[in-house]
Amino acid sequence: MGRTAPTYRQALEERMKRWDEFARLLTTPEEREAFELVRTGARRYAAQATYVGSPDLLESILLSVLTDLAARIRSAPGEPRARP
């Protein structure tokens, strides 16, 4: 197909391959699990990041990960409930 630029999802997966190296030096299961959460967070808001269409991939990834974390914090026990 005639796409010139990779989609955000493709660019994200490509960038996250680099993160594998980062993960290799994590030493505890807790850290590895937390790292997987970050990965999931990066993927969760792909639709929204695509919509922004920012040329800055990292900006989109950060927004996605931070939104995911903030949503988790808000829905954690003891915190005000996030909207569904």
Closest approach of other proteins to the CB of residue 52, in Å: 9
Backbone angles phi, psi at 5, to 5 degrees: -90, 145
Interface with other proteins (CB under 8 A): 1-5, 7-8, 39-40, 43-44, 46-47, 50-51, 53-55, 84
**Shortest distance (Å) from residue 49 CB to other proteins:** 10
Gap between the Cα atoms of 29 and 6, Å rounded: 33
As a whole number of angstroms, the distance between CA 8 and CA 83 comes to 26
Cβ proximity to other proteins, 1 vs 78, nearer residue: 1
